[in-house]
Amino acid sequence: MTVRVAVDGRHAVRVDVTDHGGGFRSVRRRAESEPGGWGLHLVQMLSDHWGVAQGASHVWFEIGR
């Protein structure tokens, strides 16, 4: 797993997390009764911007923009 953190001149923080796996379908859970898959839901709730690189296990998010 690789985690990269960068801070720009405007005090925004960008975090990239890559696990070098085969990729995944980015689906956020909506119902509290669903097991697993809450990571993307938390990323969306806590960040200003976020995304998933298609075809890879790479999620990025930004805070402070």
Element (H, E) at 65: none
Q: Which two tokens stand for residue 37?
A: 């898959």
Chunked mean pLDDT (size 10), the chain, 65 residues: 88 89 61 68 90 81 88
| Residues 26-46: b if buried by 16+ CB within 10 A, e if exposed | eeeeeeeeeeeeeebeebeee
What is the reported pLDDT for 52?
Answer: 85
What is the reported pLDDT for 57?
Answer: 83
Q: Which two tokens stand for residue 5?
A: 């953190």
Q: Letter for the amino acid at 56?
A: A
What is the reported pLDDT for 58?
Answer: 86
Q: Letter for the amino acid at 26?
A: S
